[in-house]
Each structure stands twice: as C-alpha cells, then as structure tokens.
Amino acid sequence: MDKSQLAAKVKEACYLTGNFILSSGKRSNYYLDKYRFSTHPELLGAVAEEIAKRVPPGVNRLAGPELGAVPIAAAVSLKTGIPYVIVKKDQKDYGTKRPIEGILEQGDHIFLIEDIITTATQCIRAAKRLVSEGAVVTKIIGVIDRQEGGAENIAAAGFDYEPLFTKEELGV
C-alpha cells in the first residue's frame, strides 16, 4: 500500500466528528482517534513500515511516550530491529520509579515516535525527559500533525521534526 492509500485508510479508521476536548484543552469538532489505527494490525503494520523508512542514520533507540505511541514504537521496533523505550507521563512512586522504561544508555540516539501532534506539549516533554536522562533526540516523528502549532513548538524547543501525515494530507 502506498502512502496516499495508507492516508485514506488511516483517516477512514480514526476520523471522528462531534464535540471533543483535546489533550491541549482546546475544543474541536473532529477527533483523530489513534487507537482506531494503532489497534488494527494491518494499519499499525503499514504505519510502522512508513515510519521505519524515515528512521535517521545513527539512531540506536526508538522511544514512544505512553500510552498512545507505545504500540506504534513497538511495531516500528519489530520492523527495524531497533530497541525502544517507553517515556512515562509521570514518574511512579512504586516499582523501578524510573521515568523511562526499557534500556536507555547515556548517549543513545533516539527517534521519538508520537501519535497525534496538536500543540506537541506532551511530545516536547517526552523529548526533554529523554535528554535529561542522557539521550540525544535525533528526530521526532508524529503519525498525524493536526497543524495547530505543534511543528513550530517542536522547532522552538530545539528538536528536528517530521510528520508522517498532516491534517491536510488526510483531507481533514
């Protein structure tokens, strides 16, 4: 399946209309439900294949912020053979108490995979957490960019960014 066919299938699976509050707190008359493509094996595999083509040279670790990006990062890891880590939203007071799960080494070059980018607040927080743990965030990719300032915010935070699909490409 080519990228334009995949865009159509992703939109068909995840585009919902109604009255929604986004994680940014903004209201929207549409919602892109990432779980509707990330829990579908054929779509998840095809999205992972497209993302795998965009992994920059020198990357030795993938990362996915919890919860939505984790299955996507796992699928890309399976396609590429590159291990991944999970960036927690909040550090827990039990277990390992680590903000990042999986094996992260000082100096690891990270390709951070995010699901939906609106303002990119959560994505930037995850990237900064990785940096604070000694990693180098080589690039960030978002499966869908809602084109509501996220790309600009990521650039302002000092990270390289590429969307797999934009709202415009999906015809939203």
Provide the 3-class DSSP secondary structure of residue 114: strand
> The domain spanning residue 97 has which CATH number?
3.40.50.2020
Provide the 3-class DSSP secondary structure of residue 71: helix
pLDDT at 96: 65
pLDDT at 95: 64
pLDDT at 90: 76
Q: How many CB atoms lie within 10 A of CB 129?
A: 19
Cα–Cα dist 146/13, whole Å: 16
Domain encompassing residue 153:
3-170
Q: Are strands 100-101 and 27-32 parallel, antiparallel or unpaired?
A: unpaired
Cα–Cα dist 168/98, whole Å: 38
What number of CA atoms fall less than 13 Å from residue 160's CA on the CB side? Answer: 10
The angle formed by the CA atoms of residues 89, 90 and 93, to the nearest 5 degrees, is: 150
pLDDT at 138: 98
Cα–Cα dist 153/50, whole Å: 24
What is the number of domains present in the chain?
Answer: 1
Query: Per-residue confidence of the chain (172 residues) as pLDDT tens digits?
Result: 899 999 999 999 999 999 999 888 889 999 999 999 999 999 999 999 999 999 999 999 999 999 999 999 999 999 999 999 999 987 666 666 688 999 999 999 999 999 999 999 999 999 999 999 999 999 999 999 999 999 999 999 999 999 999 999 999 9
pLDDT at 94: 67
Whole-prediction pTM value?
A: 0.94
pLDDT at 21: 92
What number of CA atoms fall less than 13 Å from residue 10's CA on the CB side? Answer: 29
Cα–Cα dist 52/29, whole Å: 32
